[in-house]
Amino acid sequence: MGRIGTIINRKGKQDAKKAKEFTKLGRYIMVAAREGGGDPTYNAALMSAIEKAKAANMPNDNIDRAVKKGAGETDGAVFTELTYEGYGPGGVAVLVECLTDNTNRTAANVRSYYSKGKGNLGTNGCVSFMFDRKGVLVIDKKEGMDDEELEMTFIEAGAEDISVETDYYEVITDIGDFAGVRDALSSQGFEFSMAELRYLPQTMTKLTDEEDIKYMQKLIDLLEDDDDVQTVYHNWEE
């Protein structure tokens, strides 16, 4: 399985939480529009945020409202980006990205989740060195696609790494090449079920103790269920 196999698997488990997912995606879009303007043509972060929202089937009206709020065309809360790092059971590295309009609330909640999951919230930098920041493009397989031919196409577009899975292709890029590779493949007609910058673990940690597994799952669920939490990264080999 490719480096983001667990991400794909967990993505499917979250499909029933669309309303909560749309809230998080809306915040992501607002921050991108606020920082780089409301035109995705000139704002790569906003384009990525919109693509992520569309991949999750977020309605266009929701996307447009979020862009306008972020660009200051309508009144909206100001969100702050925060990153928390720490360890779950068994020394699993857990990195959490948040967007919040109340930093005190978010800090208290995240700290309590680590505690309830038998983990420990650490200091900035304590686990981030275990991850690589990369561009991730996922293309679902369709009938007639030739693996070898497409691998060459992805390489020519500038991909750094490629993994051919049963149902999809996983294309990894350097963060500086992400927009170029995405645009090159998009211009050739490829559609993405995931197109974003992510932290990918360098090595994985396997848990064998049933108690550790139970609390690790609890930690992830608590974090992902919080509206302030955008993304949870970890190196647990599920």
Q: Which fold has domain 80-129+202-234?
A: Alpha-Beta Plaits (3.30.70)
Domain boundaries of the chain, sorted by first residue: 5-70, 80-129+202-234, 132-200
**pLDDT tens string 152-163:** 999 999 999 999
Identify the three-state secondary structure at position 111: helix
Full-model pTM: 0.80
| pLDDT, tens only, 78-96 | 788 899 999 999 999 999 9
What CATH number does the domain located at 5-70 have?
1.10.10.200
Give the contacts of 112 (CB within 8 A, at least 6 positions apart).
Answer: none
- Burial class from Cβ neighbours inside 10 Å (0-12, 13-18, 19+) for residue 184 reads middle
What would the DSSP string read from start to end of 40-88? TTS-HHHHHHHHHHHHTT--HHHHHHHHHHHTTSS-----EEEEEEEE-
pLDDT of residue 235: 95
Mean pLDDT to the nearest integer, 34-56: 85
pLDDT tier for residue 187 given thresholds of 50, 70 and 90: very high
In this chain, the answer to whether the domains covering 80-129+202-234 and 132-200 adopt an identical fold is: yes
Q: What value does the mean pLDDT take over residues 37-54?
A: 85
pLDDT in tens, 91-130: 999 999 998 889 999 999 999 999 999 999 999 999 999 9
Class of domain 132-200: alpha beta
Structure tokens at 50: 């919109």
Q: How confident is the model at residue 5 (pLDDT cuts 50, 70, 90)?
A: low
